[in-house]
Amino acid sequence: MMLNSQLADESITLEEQIEAIQQGDKDLENQLLKNYQPFIAKCVSEVCKRYIYRTTDDEFSIGLMAFNEAMHDYSPNKGATFLSFARLVIKRKVIDFIRKEKRQLVTTSLDMQEHDEQLENPMEIQASKTQFKAEEDSWNRKQEIQEFSKKLKEYHLSFSELTVISPKHQDARESAIRVAKVLYNDAKLREYVFKKKKIPIKALLNHVEVSKKTLERNRKYTLAIFLILSGDYVYLKDYLKEVDL
């Protein structure tokens, strides 16, 4: 379905336009890249913590390419609007760009220091690299948590609430994580959660060996884990690796 002649038709949703682009509508693709430059600049500026000039900043070019990539990779089955998905892709790509720039600066600095014999001890050099990696991970983790916090708000949840309702015993937490995995892997259950913003307790009982009372008690925690599983949360997913899912 080509939409070339309907670019200004407001009755066509953005998601429908993205579908047309994925089917090969290049004119519409170029039009959206032009129309959404202010959105792209805003997303990039949020990462860089400064105003991004669209014609001069490398970061904007990265954001523009990321938006174009998002148009081709987007799937409504992921439960997010296109703009939410595109915002995440843009920020990820810009963060990766900044990380590479930092890494090059640090590597150059270390090479110069080694050349000038300012860091004669290899252990000192390694310590500097380790410190940089730790700072890099900390910054990326903070960005990821900020994105996840926004997602939690869409489901009427918050980090502060999760610290209170999180199951106190490890076996209870692992059980809730397994339930979240079942919920995520079943297409119908997953779609229900994305659409209703809540867990279908009754339907879920047919898929897990957990009592209704337990599902009810851990539903918010399970929902939060489900959101981690369904999103691009590299650091938060590390939290789930120890559980045999």
Write the DSSP string, 42-84.
Answer: HHHHHHHTSPPPTTT-HHHHHHHHHHHHHHHH--GGGSS-HHH
Q: How confident is the model over 32-64, as pLDDT tens digits? A: 999 898 888 888 888 887 777 666 678 889 999
**Cα 222 from chain centroid (whole Å):** 19
User: Where exactly are the structural domains of the chain?
Assistant: 36-154, 159-238
Enumerate residues 6+ apart whose C-beta is below 8 A from 158: 149, 152
Q: How confident is the model over 109-141, as pLDDT tens digits? A: 444 444 444 444 555 445 555 655 666 567 667
Average pLDDT over residues 16-41: 91
Enumerate residues 6+ apart whose C-beta is below 8 A from 121: none
Q: How confident is the model over 202-228, as pLDDT tens digits? A: 999 999 999 999 999 999 999 999 999
Residue with tokens 């903070």: 142
Output 244 or 159, whichever has higher pLDDT. Answer: 159
SS3 of 150-170: the string is HHHHHCCCCHHHHHHHCCCCH
Question: pLDDT at position 176, please?
Answer: 92
Cα angle value 165/166/171 (rounded, 5°): 135
Question: pLDDT at position 184, please?
Answer: 92
Enumerate residues 6+ apart whose C-beta is below 8 A from 155: 197, 198, 223, 227
Question: pLDDT at position 120, please?
Answer: 45
Question: pLDDT at position 242, please?
Answer: 57
Least confident of 54-68, 170-184, 185-199: 54-68
Out of 1-5, 53-57, 79-83, 175-179, the most confident range is 175-179
Output 232 or 216, whichever has higher pLDDT. Answer: 216
The answer, yes or no, to whether residue 171 has pLDDT greater than 70, is yes
